[in-house]
A and B are shown apart, each in its own frame.
Chain A
Amino acid sequence: MNAIIHILQTQSNGILEALGQHISISLISLFIAAIIAIPLAIILMTHKRIAEIILQITSILQTIPSLALLGILIPFVGIGTIPSIIALVVYAVMPIFQNTYSGLTTIDPNLEEAAEAFGLSRTKKLIKFQLPLAMPMIISGIRIAMVMIIGTATLAALIGAGGLGTYILLGIETNNNALLLIGAILSAILTLIFSALINGISKLSLKKIGILFSVVVVLFGGFAGYRSFVKPTVNVTIAGKMGSEPQILINMYKELIEQDHPNMKVSLKPNFGGTSFLYKALESGSVDIYPEFTGTVLESLVKTNKNVSHNPEKTYQVAKDLLKKQANMEYLKPMQYQNGYDLAVKRSFAKKYNLKTISDLVRVEHRLHAGFDPDFYQQSDGYPGIKKAYGLDLASVKTMEPSIRYKAIANGKVNIVDGYTTDPEIQEYDLVALKDDKNHFPPYQGAPLMTEKFAMKHPEIKTTLNKLSGKITTADMQKMNYLVTVKHEKASKVAHDYLVSKKLLK
């Protein structure tokens, strides 16, 4: 509970922004779905057979898992807000269409006969009794759609559209229940509030609903128009993967670029998603820059057939050349810190047995009980590789979720864990990362990645971002991650303080 209050106090701006994103994505989707579904039902109310075909199609669409739908859409519309809205609209069309259609077609046939005999036109019939009598059904369709949309919109975070899902995903990823609860509870509250609002709207007359509708359209349109009018000359979009470290980095990029180039406006998309999402976004142009690790480039973004040396400089050079050759990407110079795999033990344990390097572990291997991430346990450059390279054979190994293993070592359930060199937990739980003295782990250095096209168009951005090359040590990064993840400081503030302390900001 205290954690929740603390986060609410320190991150209220971010939460409000996510809430705003969530509401606007949901409302826009609901609005578009209603605009498609209601007129469609009105048109098809007299064409029973076509209506039934449409009902079939929409219910099939409904059965596609939302994640799959998001995935299917990426090649066509990229990532971010637009595919999220498309997916949500696809889901919401069905309940609205179905309810509107059955509302309109289950009206007492005597009333239809009377209206027909009175010579009322199609429009007159709709306004005078069909829509008013179908209204309760239509409203309940809209309400069902809205509940679904607000729930499903949490998945939008996966493809970088933001919203409350960001907190849920972040909470799951970092095992932070407070964040998860904030995301989940806020989206539940949102559902209740909107449900009540829709209830209120349903009590208004058709005329008032029309007026309300036009006011909302004018406001939205005016806002969008204003936004596009005051847009500065150059817009740069920088995204980052899940977690605090990319968030800190992209905030640094933003500050530096906006300081050096006042005509540029940088928009950030933190917690944008996984590697392939981000890389595709970069290719499609919906993102201009994002920080990527040299190791990840070699592992999953380019094709390599030879074994690359584990020397950091060489790794960077190979990654840069292959990206240019294979994908027309420009990979700027990396920062100093390494965020590769490491093995960590408690400081007291290291002192007791005088452990400094992984080689030192062999002496005490019969005392070592490990908690490893399942990936690390299986991958060739993980535990199997270590075993071979150092001749290390641990007494016992348990696999556990990444977030849990640090708790396990803190509680003394295990005494050695794998991790990343910049993990804030190293500081939080007073651990020591042992030196990889045989250079077994591939190096993971962060550097800004952009398309060649973008780099040619804005060479000045390259110059600006290269100011960070060789800066930020592993210790710096660890500390900053600690401040953001554990102390809940804002990534933008931590980034700003660092830049000021290194005199990179005037």
Chain B
Amino acid sequence: MIKFEHVYKKYEDNSAIEDLNLEINDGDFFVMVGTSGSGKTTTLKMINRLIEPSSGQILIDGKDIKTYNLQKMRLNMGYVLQNIALFPNLTIEENIAIQPESLHWSKDKRKNVAWDLLNKVGLDPKLYAKRYPHELSGGEQQRVGIIRALATSPKMVLMDEPFSALDPISRTQLQDLVLKLHRELQITFIFVTHDMQEAIRLGNTIAVLSKGKLEQIGNRDDILNHPKNDFVEGFFQQAKRGPATVNLLLDSGLGKETDQPINSSLLKIDSVNRLATELKDNQGMVIFKKDDINYQLTTADLLDYLAKEGEQ
């Protein structure tokens, strides 16, 4: 568990963080969202001590992070950057194995881990392991960036706006990917974004920051339906209104509950466009989870909805 206690960060004449108190539970998918200058990235970088707080304490498992050996602590934390930052002179495999190498893992073990992870994110190691970063597309590079952060099986992974530089299609694919990885690995993910859609789509716990202060912390429902103040409400209004969502379809009586296992990570707040893509990928029937109940939607449902929309 990570705990911030009265953390301040002051730069010469302005303060970036003011009296921040929060807890991040093990295994959580914790998203910090806010506009630029909100202090979200500063908060993230204080966890791996790229930035030191001016005052206050940050604890991991009850111990002040300053008492940990800095290098050892960082070697056991994954880190994903907005600019991806793969080392251009190293192959994909060497990039993934950079932390394991520092931990003196054997060559075979490093290779196995790299190949397993490549397989996991849909990059064929036979094709990709020996390539160099510049030979990959942006989306492929960030897949590597993500698995590089997972290579040592760390207890937590820090992600600093990892998808903001990607095109919308890659972004959606990678959002699905991190959700899948989180489900499988049960690691604490701490994720920073300025995109409220992304925050709502990914976060189990969402912390909304503004001007160095924590405005609200809670799950998706809390934030969307019980905003603590005008700022939070205003910030997420667009996400609620937005373009037609899956929720709208369900609310209008389309789709039905089912016992079949889910085949998609579709969320109720996803757009109709996304539903269309998922339907195409899944032979016309999408099964997904909403509020712990599995629902199914078909192409016919979508057509029904669009027909009704057209009438209005």
* Chain A residues in the interface with B (C-beta under 8 A): 108, 110-111, 113-114, 116-121, 124, 128-129, 132-133
Contacts and interface: CB of A to CB of B under 8 A. Distances in A.
B50 A113 contact: yes
B71 A108 contact: no
Interface string B73-109: 1111101010111011110000000110110000000
Top-8 shortest CB links A-B: A119-B74, A117-B79, A119-B75, A114-B85, A110-B85, A132-B89, A110-B83, A119-B71
A139 B72 CA distance: 35
B70 interface: yes
B75 A118 contact: yes
Contacts of B81: 110, 113-114, 117
Contacts of A117: 48, 50, 74, 77, 79, 81, 158
Size category, B interface: 20 to 34
Contact of B72 (A111, A119, A132): A119
Residue in B76, B77, B85, B158 whose Cβ sees the most chain A Cβ within 10 Å:
B85
B49 to A, nearest CB: 9
Main secondary structure of the interface of A (DSSP, over half): helix
Contacts of B85: 108, 110-111, 113-114
A119 B102 contact: yes
The listed residue with most B CB atoms (<10 A of its CB), out of A110, A113, A117, A128, is A117
Given A110-B84, A114-B87, A119-B75, 4 more contacts: A110-B85, A116-B74, A124-B102, A128-B87
A158 B77 CA distance: 63
A108 B81 CA distance: 13
Contact of B102 (A108, A113, A116, A118): A118
A129 B87 contact: yes
Contacts of A129: 87, 89-90
B151 to A, nearest CB: 10
A117 B76 CA distance: 10
A132 B132 CA distance: 14
A128 B90 contact: yes
B86 to A, nearest CB: 8
A110 B90 CA distance: 15
A130 to B, nearest CB: 10
A116 B98 contact: no
A114 B79 contact: yes
23 contacts: A108-B85, A110-B81, A110-B84, A110-B85, A111-B85, A111-B87, A113-B85, A114-B79, A116-B50, A117-B79, A117-B158, A118-B74, A118-B79, A119-B72, A119-B74, A119-B77, A120-B98, A120-B99, A120-B102, A121-B71, A128-B87, A128-B98, A132-B89
Contacts of A108: 85
